[in-house]
Amino acid sequence: MDVQTLTYLIVGVTFALYIGIAIWSRAGSTKEFYVAGGGVHPVMNGMATAADWMSAASFISLAGIVSFTGYDGSVYLMGWTGGYVLLALCMAPYLRKFGKFTVPDFIGDRYYSQAARTVAVICAIFICFTYIAGQMRGVGVVFSRFLEVDVETGVYIGMAVVFFYAVLGGMKGITYTQVAQYCVLIFAFMVPAIFISVMMTGHVLPQIGFGAELIDAAGNGTGVYLLDKLDGLSAELGFSQYTEGSKSMIDVFFITGALMFGTAGLPHVIVRFFTVPRVKDARISAGWALVFIAIMYTTIPALAAFSRVNMIETINGPESTGVAYETAPEWIKNWEKTGLITWDDKNDDGKIYYAKGPTNEMKIDRDIMVLATPEIANLPAWVIALVAAGGLAAALSTSAGLLLVISTSVSHDLLKKNLMPDISDKKELMFARIAAALGIVMAGYFGINPPGFVAAVVAIAFGLAASSLFPAIIMGIFSKTMNKEGAISGMVIGLLFTASYIVFFKFMNPEINNADHWFMGISPEGIGMLGMLVNFGVAFSVSKFTTAVPDDVVAMVESIRFPKGSGEAHDH
């Protein structure tokens, strides 16, 4: 069977599986509907959280970014895992004890103010919209390759599928569907990585093979270590050293921080810990989630290094002078159809050649790396099809989950609890649908006109979360004296500061978006960490000069600090 038939088959089977589980678990559990996760083991809950978390950005784009930027890509690896430590240690247990539905619920109650709730809702909606904008590009890339259309058409198809998927609905609430999705996506990611690791280094674990010696076709050691080879190739072709990267240290520091603190402030991640049965489970769930995330995240840099070597070698050939276009490998021609690889024969020698600078003839979109890797390494067709199914599982589950958060934020938090308290259920549902549709249209627009690569767009959402919601939640738990005036001004100024810095460089003046013009050399991706410090600073200064926190709120803060007496879990 050819790749395309196999892709339809495997994608079809996995979709049938998700829908089947959704129908089965819904029918069987109407009684327990209101204690979501109540009967779910923390390991399962961790797996579901991991599936929810690992989006198109993780699955499709991240290995590509690491592959093209080497050490610089570490910011995403450390940032998107390190945030879970903050979640587990500083937030999850206390928010679970608090025991209400959403992040705006916590902020509204803790800061005893409708205005604080409104600001939190606006932050949450803003963050989710930015986050989802990065997802549709990933879906588009998958569809464009496997249906052999250009990437724009791929995005339109993706929009239609996600809309259908989200409207079919409730997927998010059903933990077991996400457990299945995790299994599909981790299997799809690990299989090619293990294949390639064995082929190139003889080690089964990519995490070990990544640092090991390369072997030749007969399986004998060549005495050359993978990473040394990669550094050598990079230097030869004019790139910066793979293991050193090209970003400045301060920028790496700030981006890592923005991603870590942002992870701990993302509304759709935090809500997962509101639903577990006990405070104890909130702690351990975060641990299991990170285990399942780390399996993939420690494989990503290995896969990135393997595919970088493979890619350069297949394009430039053994002599490193390029190979003739007619004899070029099939994957290059396949991806040319999507417009994500282009070849411009500058010296008219009929050979393809990849390097940095004016001699380069290949334009290769980073987002294709994971999907193209099995083809580059000549893996069997079913592996290629499996990777497509895994990418779709990752992109669709996260998009659908985010759309549900957007629609509940708009209809429940914003309209029902704020602007129109007497709204009817029917109207509430209508607004929820409108919000979801709006989310998809916006995501589609940014999918077609991306302001950066998938992972880079998503990174902006983290900056916004780090500078707005994260400090408000942390101060709400760890300070008894932080009042509403302080928290609100902190959130507003933190968000405005970060958003305007990003808009200024990314959208208004993209031509001066470089280190010479950045404040202290901090890029828009990293500014969220500075925004967070601004938020803390403003909040503490303002709270010094305004009214004290009421006694009942102080009592509430005291009561969330220990587990005993946590009530029943709530469902969404």
Partner 1 sequence: MSFESNDKAEGYWRENLRLVLGLLVIWAAVSFGCGVLLVDVLNEFHFMGFKLGFWFAQQGAMYVFVALIFVYVVKANALDKKYNVHED
Q: Which amino acid type is present at position 349? A: D
566 binds partner 1 (CB under 8 A): yes
What is the number of alpha carbons within 13 Å of residue 253 lying toward its C-beta?
Answer: 7
Pick 142 or 226: Cβ nearer partner 1: 226
Pick 23 or 208: Cβ nearer partner 1: 208
Residue at token pair 């678990």: 25
Which residues in 188-227 contact partner 1 (CB under 8 A)? 207-208, 210-213, 225-227
53 binds partner 1 (CB under 8 A): no
Interface map 505-544 toward partner 1 (x if CB under 8 A):
----------------------------------------
CA distance 73 to 78: 9
CB neighbour class for 31 (10 Å; exposed up to 12, middle 13-18, buried from 19): exposed
Pick 141 or 473: Cβ nearer partner 1: 473
Give the one residue of 15, 71, 112, 540 binding partner 1; rule: CB under 8 A. Answer: 71
DSSP assignment of 29-42, as one string? TSTTTTSTTTTS-H
DSSP 550: P
Interface map 263-302 toward partner 1 (x if CB under 8 A):
---------------xxx--xx-xx--xx--x--xx--x-
Type and span of the H or E element at 197: helix 175-201
- Rounded to a whole number of angstroms, the minimum distance from the CB of residue 293 to partner 1 is 9
CA distance 55 to 472: 26
45 binds partner 1 (CB under 8 A): no
- Rounded to a whole number of angstroms, the minimum distance from the CB of residue 542 to partner 1 is 24
Pick 110 or 416: Cβ nearer partner 1: 110
Tokens of 98: 């608090």
CB neighbour class for 455 (10 Å; exposed up to 12, middle 13-18, buried from 19): buried
CA distance 61 to 55: 9
Q: Which amino acid type is present at position 354? A: Y
74 binds partner 1 (CB under 8 A): yes
- Beta bridge partners, 181, equal none
Q: Pick the stretch among 158-166, 377-385, 418-426, 564-572 that binds partner 1 (CB under 8 A).
A: 564-572
Coil vs helix vs strand at 289: helix
Pick 15 or 253: Cβ nearer partner 1: 253
Cα→Cα distances 402→269, 308, 548, Å: 10, 32, 37
Give the one residue of 35, 78, 161, 190 binding partner 1; rule: CB under 8 A. Answer: 78
Residues of this chain that interact with partner 1 (CB under 8 A) are: 66, 71, 73-74, 77-78, 81-82, 84-86, 88-90, 93, 207-208, 210-213, 225-227, 243-244, 249, 252-253, 256-257, 260, 278-280, 283-284, 286-287, 290-291, 294, 297-298, 301, 558, 561-566
